[in-house]
Amino acid sequence: MKKIFNVSVVLPTYNERENIQELIQRIEKSLGDRLLEIIVVDDDSPDLTWEIVKKYPKKSVKLIHRLKKKGLSSAILDGIKTAKGSMIVWMDCDLSMPPEIIPDLILELNSNDICIASRYAKGGKDIRSFPRVFMSMLINKFAILMLGKTITDYTSGFVAVKKHVFNNITWNTTGYGEYFIEFANACIVNNYRVIEFGYTFQDRCQGESKSTGNLVTFIKYGFKYLLTIIKLWHKNQFMKHKGKGDL
């Protein structure tokens, strides 16, 4: 018997006017009757991404138009708080991540709590430019060394999660991609069942990357990610020793 899921997809947007309609349509086609809603959280994009979403003809596509609050991390959390589905997916909106694999991620939640789309798991691939691939691999190798081998892609940003997980897990609402490192680490620390699904990640189709638009920005974000990993390692070690002391 086919199992029907109620899936909420959260899409954080900023200047994605050229991509958002195609992404929504591809998500709808991929999930079919398993899709409950698509929640677009837009930070008042100057290119009027929010206007395209507002005019979208289907009621299942919902808009959160944020005028004051800004940032990727808080945008995703706002979407999760609004989501009504029993399973929540979020991803980038620049068409670098294929929505066609969302059903595969959801299927893995039959026996797991979290399924992370990974560039480094079996079957995964990153086909962006060498500097971006190198920096990403370096950060993730360091994360694996410091935080554990359960996850290969600590900076994925493409994931399916059972909603109950958020009863125990949250993350810092400031910053950019470092939130996902915090999320992944929290999943491991809280002993949730985590699995990865390999996929091919490519350069964005239209527009400029928010994190790698130029070399200075690229290095700045990479440095922040490394600091986040070190802070989480110290926190994990503290909690581990505290637990031993309580026995």
18-72 per-position pLDDT tens digit: 999 999 999 999 999 999 999 999 999 999 999 999 999 999 999 999 998 889 9
pLDDT band at 75 (very low <50, low <70, confident <90, very high): very high
188: closest CA among 144, 122, 142?
144
Please name every residue paired with 40 in a beta bridge, in sequence order, or none if there are none.
11, 63
Q: Given this model, what pLDDT does residue 203 score?
A: 77
| Average pLDDT value for residue range 167-172 | 88
In this structure, are strands 114-118 and 159-162 parallel, antiparallel, or unpaired?
antiparallel
Name the average pLDDT for the chain: 91
Q: Given this model, what pLDDT does residue 208 score?
A: 57
Q: Given this model, what pLDDT does residue 131 score?
A: 86
Q: Is 247 a residue whose pLDDT tops 50? A: no
Q: Which residues of 56-66 are buried (b: 16+ CB within 10 A; e: fewer)?
A: beeeebbbbeb
Q: What distance in Å separates the CA atoms of residue 155 and residue 173, rounded to the nearest whole number?
A: 16
* Neighbouring residues of 188: CB distance < 8 A, sequence distance ≥ 6: 147, 148, 150, 151, 194
Backbone angles phi, psi at 33, to 5 degrees: -75, 0
154: closest CA among 128, 134, 181, 179?
181
Backbone angles phi, psi at 17, to 5 degrees: -55, -40
170-204 per-position pLDDT tens digit: 888 888 889 999 999 999 999 999 999 999 999 76
Domains of the chain: 7-246 (3.90.550.10)
